[in-house]
Chain A
Amino acid sequence: MSAGWHKVRDWFRHDPRGKWVGLALIGIALAVLPFALEASVGRTWVRIVDLALLYTMLALGLNIVVGFAGLLDLGYIAFYAVGAYSYALLASPHFGVHLPWWLLLPMGAVLAAFFGVVLGAPTLRLRGDYLAIVTLGFGEIIRIFLNNLNAPINITNGPQGVNLIDPVAVEGVSFGKTNTLLGIAFPGTHLHYYLFLLLAVLVMFVCIRLEDSRIGRAWVAIREDEIAAQAMGINTRNIKLLAFAMGATFGGVAGGLFSSLQGFVSPESFAVWESITVLCMVVLGGMGHVAGVALGALLLATLPELLRHTAGPLQQQLLGKVILDPESLRMLLFGLALILVMLLRPAGLWPSPTRRRELTSARAPGAI
Chain B
Amino acid sequence: MNARVLYHLVRADFLERVRRYSFLVTLAFAVYLGYCAVTGKVVVKLDDYRGVYNSAWVGALMTLVATLFLTLFGFYIVKGSIQRDQETRVGRILATTPMSKSFYTVAKMISNFAVLGSMVGVMALAAIAMQWLKAEDPHVHLWPLLSPLVIFALPAVSFTGALAILFETIPGLRGGVGNVIYFFIWTALLVAPGSSIDKGQGVSTSVYFRDFTGIVSIMGQMQQDLKAIAPDYKNGAELTIGNQAAGKRFLWNGLRPTPALYLSRLASLAAAIAIALIAALFFHRFDPAHEWSLKTKTKKAPPQVRSIPTNGEAISLSPPPSSAPIHLTPMPHPSNSGAAVLARTVLAELKLMLKGHPWWWYAVAAGLFIASLASPLNNVRGGVAIAAILWPILVWSQMGTRESRFNTASLIFSSERSLVRQLPAVWIAGVIVAALTNGGLAIRLLIARDHPALLAWLACTLFIPSLALALGIWSGTSKVFEAVYTVWWYVGPAHFTPGLDFLGASPVSARSGLYLFITAGLVVAGYVGRRAKLAYV
Q: Do A and B bind each other?
A: no
